Amino acid sequence: MLAAGGGIDKWWAMFNIHDDDAVRDILERHRIGNVKDYVPQPVVSLEDQWAAEPTRADGLRVLNSRPFNAETPEAALREYITPTELFFVRGHMPVPDLKNRPDFCVMVEGEGMDARCFTVEDLKRQFEEHTETVTIQCGGNRRTTMEAAYAADGAKGVKGLSWKGGAIGTADWTGVYLRDVIAACQVEPPYDPASYHVQFEGADRDAAGHFQASIPYNMATSPDADVLIAYKMNGEDLPPDHGYPLRAIVPGVVGVRNCKFLQRVTVQPDECESVWQQNDYKNFPSYETKPNHSYPSIYYMPVQSQLTHAAYNPEADAIQLQAYAYAGGGRGIQRVEVSHDNGRSFEYAATLQPRPQTGAASQEEASFPHERQWAWRQVVADTPVKDIKAAPVVRGDGTKVYLTCIRAVTTDNEVQPAVAPYNFRGLLYNGYSCKDIAVK
């Protein structure tokens, strides 16, 4: 431990995200006493840990600087392909300096494997290149909506960064299929593929070790799962914030499993032991208040939608909406319904925008029983006020207000709940997305 036997000031120098009152309160409860005649040592600078942090675009909504976490601004969420420089960044650690490591390679190893390390050039030379258009969503996206939904319940806090709804984005990811790389190294397949896992390790690290996460072996190797070792995002080399030079892209699966700075792939009998696999990014039941290994790790994300624009246009006397809608596991969006009475009734469907041609090798069309719709749909609705059946709420000053909500329905007939289950880590929130719209 970085702080073992010493002050924890240097931890806070590295991870300012933890330097807050809540952590100080926790530490206070564990205070045994004060060391007699303790003279704090000057904090050793860890500034070099952050030396490789890239310059970021001004438009990002920054939630934390070290590690860097920022969400995509609303306007950019309305584009089918999220501009690379405005794609949300979820960093757990400093960005490693890999720009000056031409020999960097990803080690592929594990049970029944002939261990080999592949540079980007090795991958390009030895395997077929594929591009997949994939939406990546952080497990904590829309945490602020969960906070608001459970604010009335005083006992229940929600722990984590306050993502509004911009911890999601879509890009064309180019690389090679993980299944091809594993097959090339495989001497004999593991004993029971159904229970095995493939662990990813990033080159990013803190004093406790590297970032790690895993996915089931069958997902990693299935021809239907399209898992990539990617080296390009929207046609360019991966930027440092998105994992340069290599990143695991796991379509339909929560962001945290899409390991950045990929330096190691390990086939193994067990799920990853890291905190991001065992203590967090889990589907904690609504009655749970602390991390517990026994709950299931999150892979597929539930059906999601979020308003990205909702406003009254006085010229047209119409309410105009835009939104994104997404479901994990490759499932498609069947429709998005619109309510103007706070979700009591839904009056009509928004229009699912056609997918633009992206120039990427086209993704295969969805087919039963396994769909492969890896990317979100963009949604619009433009409704003249005269066509709205719901009665507006009339405020004290006479303003008429529509309590506008949307909900998405998947191709397998699942629907967003009005309010999603409480999760003390603020994960998996997918309740109706609502906004009050005043009409003049």
Chain residues that interact with its own copies, rule: CB under 8 A:
153, 193-194, 215-216, 218-219, 222, 224-225, 252, 283, 285-287, 296, 298-303, 328-330, 334-335, 337, 345-349, 364-365, 367-370, 407, 409, 411-422, 428
> Minimum Å distance from CB 419 to its own copies?
8
Specify the residue, 94 or 302, whose C-beta has the smaller distance to its own copies. Answer: 302
Specify the residue, 83 or 193, whose C-beta has the smaller distance to its own copies. Answer: 193
Specify the residue, 169 or 216, whose C-beta has the smaller distance to its own copies. Answer: 216
Pick the closest to residue 433 from 348, 345, 325, 335 (CA basis). Answer: 325
Please state, as a whole number, how many other Cβ atoms lie within 10 Å of the Cβ of residue 430. Answer: 25
Q: What is the CA 297 to chain-centroid distance, rounded?
A: 14
> Minimum Å distance from CB 284 to its own copies?
11
Specify the residue, 81 or 213, whose C-beta has the smaller distance to its own copies. Answer: 213
Specify the residue, 40 or 223, whose C-beta has the smaller distance to its own copies. Answer: 223
Specify the residue, 233 or 428, whose C-beta has the smaller distance to its own copies. Answer: 428
> Minimum Å distance from CB 79 to its own copies?
27
Going across the sheet that includes 197-206, the strands are 116-118, 106-110, 262-268, 197-206, 209-216
> Minimum Å distance from CB 278 to its own copies?
17
> Minimum Å distance from CB 36 to its own copies?
45
Measured distance between the N- and C-terminal CA atoms of the chain, rounded to whole angstroms: 60
Euclidean distance between CA atoms 426 and 154, whole angstroms: 15
Three-state DSSP state, 295: coil
Question: Contact, 331 vs 373, CB < 8 A?
Answer: yes
Helix or strand run (H / E) with residue 124 = helix 120-126
CA dihedral sign, ordered 355, 358, 359, 362: negative
Q: For the residues of 57-79, what is the DSSP string, one character each? A: -TTSEEEETTTTEEE--HHHHTS
Please state, as a whole number, how many other Cβ atoms lie within 10 Å of the Cβ of residue 362. Answer: 11
Specify the residue, 44 or 361, whose C-beta has the smaller distance to its own copies. Answer: 361
Euclidean distance between CA atoms 308 and 322, whole angstroms: 5
Specify the residue, 106 or 298, whose C-beta has the smaller distance to its own copies. Answer: 298
> Minimum Å distance from CB 156 to its own copies?
9
Question: Contact, 168 vs 214, CB < 8 A?
Answer: no
Specify the residue, 100 or 413, whose C-beta has the smaller distance to its own copies. Answer: 413
> Minimum Å distance from CB 97 to its own copies?
34
Question: Contact, 227 vs 248, CB < 8 A?
Answer: yes
> Minimum Å distance from CB 143 to its own copies?
15
The tokens for 364 are 């295969």
> Minimum Å distance from CB 328 to its own copies?
7
Euclidean distance between CA atoms 246 and 119, whole angstroms: 9
